[in-house]
Amino acid sequence: MTPIISLSHRSLLNRRGTVSLTVLAIALSVMMVLGVERLRHDAKASFANTISGTDLIVGARGGTIQLLLYAVFRIGNATNNVSWKSYRDIAARPGVAWTVPLSLGDSHKGFRVMGTTADYFRHYRYGRKQNLAFTAGAPFKNIFDTVLGADAARYLGYKLGDDIVVAHGLGQVGFLRHDDKPFKVTGILKKTGTPVDRTVHVSLAGIEAIHIDWRSGSRIPGMAVDAEALREGSLQPKAITAFLVGTTTRFGAFHLQRAINEYPREPLLATLPGVALQELWDLMGTAETALRAISVFVVVAGLLGMLTMLLSSLNERRREIAILRSVGARPIHVFGLFSLEAGLISLAGALVGLIFLYLGLIIARPIIDAQYGLLLSIGPPSLRDMVLLGLVVSAGILVGMVPAYRAYRHSLADGMIIRL
C-alpha cells in the first residue's frame, strides 16, 4: 500500500495548482460549518450563563420572551411598567427571599442605563451562580453615583471619578440629555461575558432625580430642579420596568408565579428564566436549521468542486493509468489511487479549514466581544467538531469513488490509443 500512497502524493504535487484551489474551497466550507456550530454553541452558552440563581422575572403582562429580552439581555422595551406599590406588595410576601427592581429606558453613548438598588450587586448571579465583582471602586451609595460594566468602561475610557451624562431614550446619539444632573463613576465591574458588561448602573433614586422635571420625554418648560437640592431628599419611584425574585424554596417559586400571574391590582407576568430561555431556543430553531442547511450546501459545493477537478483530469490521466496497468497495477490499485487522492484532498481541506477557523476566532473574538458582548471560546476541537471533520473526509472519499470507478473501468488498450 505504501507505493500507492507515495504515487498519490507525487501525483497531487504534480497538479499542485488545481489541487490547492480545491483544498482551499473545502477548507473554507469546513471553516464555515465549524464556525456556525461554534457560534451557535457559544451563543447558547452565553445566553444561558447570563442569569442564574434567580427564580422569577416579573414584568408587565406580555410575552415571556419579550420580558426575558428586556429585563435580562437589555434588548427592546417593555410594553408597560410595574407600579412601585405592586412591587412592594409582592416583595413583602411570604416565601420571597429577595427582590431586585430594574428600571430601563435611558442610555449613555449607546450603552443601556439601568436603575436598580444596591441589592443588585448582592443577589445578581451569572454563570454558575457567580457573584458580581469589582475591578475598581464599590457599589453606588449616593443618588448620582454610577457603576459601569467592564465593556462600557473600557470602550468609553472612563475611570473612577469621571462624570457622565445620561440621555433620554436608547439612541446611539442622545439629543435629549440630562446634562444638568451628571453622574459620577464610583465603581467598575469585572468582565462577566454577559449584558452586564455593557450596562451603566445607577440608583433608582437617580433615575427619578433626572426625570423629576421631565414629562412625556421632554423638559417641563420653566421648571428646573437643582441637582444639589435632590441630594438631600429621598426619592421613591412611582413605577419600575421589571424586577427579579429569589424565593426561599423552588416549590415556592411556582406558587408565587401563579399568584403574580393572577395578581388583581394590575396585569403582571412572572416567568422562570429557564422556561423563557427554552422558548427563545424554540423560536430560534428555524434560524439554526437554516444556518446548518447553508453550511451543508457550502460543504457539498466544495466536494462537488473536488469531483469536477478529478473528473476533468481523468481524460488527461488515461495514459498514466495505462502505464500503471502495463507495469502490473491492477484495476483495484487504480481505484485505490483515485480514492486515496480524494481522501488526501479532503483531509488537507479539513485540516486547513480547522486552522482557518482558529485564525478567524483569534481575529474576530475581540470585535464580536466589543460589538455584541458575545465571548467566543478558543479551545481544542470538541467531539462534535471531530465528528464533523470525519464526516467531511468520509464524504470526500465517497465523492472520490465516482472518478475512481471510471478509472477502474479504463482498459490498457483504451489508454494507449492515439487519437488524431
Select from 241, 271, 301 the last residue of a domain: 271
CA angle 209, 213, 219 (to 5 degrees): 125
Last residue in a domain, options 271, 297, 327? 271
Give the whole-angstrom CA distance, residue 31 versus residue 25: 10
Angstrom distance (rounded) from CA 216 to CA 221: 12
417 falls within a domain: no
Mean pLDDT of 287-316: 78
Indicate whether 189 and 304 sit together in one domain.
no
pLDDT per residue as tens digits for the range 238-284? 899 999 999 998 888 999 999 999 999 999 999 999 888 888 888 77
Of the listed ranges 84-98, 236-250, 405-419, the one predicted with least confidence: 405-419
The answer, yes or no, to whether residue 230 has pLDDT greater than 80, is no
The arithmetic mean of pLDDT across residues 317-342, rounded, is 70
Q: Please report whether residue 419 resides in a domain.
A: no
> What average pLDDT does the segment 212-216 reach?
63
pLDDT at position 289 over 50: yes
Mean pLDDT confidence for 290-318: 78
- Residue 336 located in a structural domain: yes
What is the arithmetic mean of pLDDT over 121-138? 90
User: Containing domain of residue 253, as a range?
Assistant: 56-271
Judge whether residue 143 has pLDDT over 70.
Answer: yes
Counted domains in the chain: 2
Each residue of 362-378: pLDDT tens digit? Answer: 888 887 776 666 677 78
Picking from 271, 293, 322, the residue at the C-terminal end of a domain is: 271
What's residue 418's pLDDT? 43
Q: What confidence category does residue 355 fall into, taking pLDDT thresholds of 50, 70 and 90?
A: very high
Has residue 418 been placed in a domain? no
Shared domain for 385 and 254, answered yes or no, is no
Q: Identify the band that residue 419 occupies on the pLDDT scale cut at 50, 70 and 90.
A: very low
The reply to whether 340 falls in a domain is yes
85 and 184 fall within a common domain? yes
- Based on the fold, state whether residues 12 and 99 are members of the same structural domain: no
- Claim to verify: residue 242 and residue 375 sit in the same structural domain: no
Q: What is the pLDDT of residues 371-407, one digit of tens each?
A: 666 677 788 888 888 888 888 888 888 887 877 777 7
Would you place residue 85 in the very low, low, confident or very high pLDDT band (cuts 50, 70, 90)? very high
Q: How far apart are the first and last CA of the chain?
A: 37
What pLDDT is stored for residue 244 in this prediction?
96
148 and 202 within one domain: yes
Phi (first) and psi of residue 270, to 5 degrees: -120, 135
Nearest-angstrom CA–CA distance, 246 and 234: 26
Helix (H, G, I), strand (E, B) or coil at 254: helix
Per cent of the chain over pLDDT 90 is: 30
Question: Same structural domain for residues 235 and 372?
Answer: no
302 touches 101 (CB < 8 A): no
Residues composing the chain: 420
Instruction: Note the pLDDT of residue 412.
Output: 45
Looking at residue 377, its pLDDT comes to 77
CA distances from 243 to 90, 104, 268 (A): 10, 11, 11
Answer yes or no: is 276 within a domain: no
Q: Note whether 209 and 316 are same-domain residues.
A: no
Compute the average pLDDT of residues 135-162.
Answer: 91
DSSP string covering 336-400: HHHHHHHHHHHHHHHHHHHHHHHHHHHHHHHHHHHHH-------SPPHHHHHHHHHHHHHHHHHH
Answer yes or no: do 27 and 71 share one domain: no
Q: What is the mean pLDDT of the chain?
A: 82
- Helix, strand, coil content of the chain in percent (nearest 5): 55, 15, 30
Q: What is the mean pLDDT of residues 203-213?
A: 82
Residue 293 lies in a domain: yes
Residue 149 has pLDDT above 90, yes or no: yes
Closest CA to 49 of 339, 230, 338, 277: 277
Would residue 139 count as lying in a domain? yes
Same domain, 113 and 66: yes
Same domain, 43 and 63: no
Please determine, for residue 109, whether its predicted confidence score (pLDDT) is greater than 80: yes
Same domain for 103 and 123? yes
* Secondary structure class of 278 (helix, strand, coil): helix
Per-residue pLDDT at 23: 85
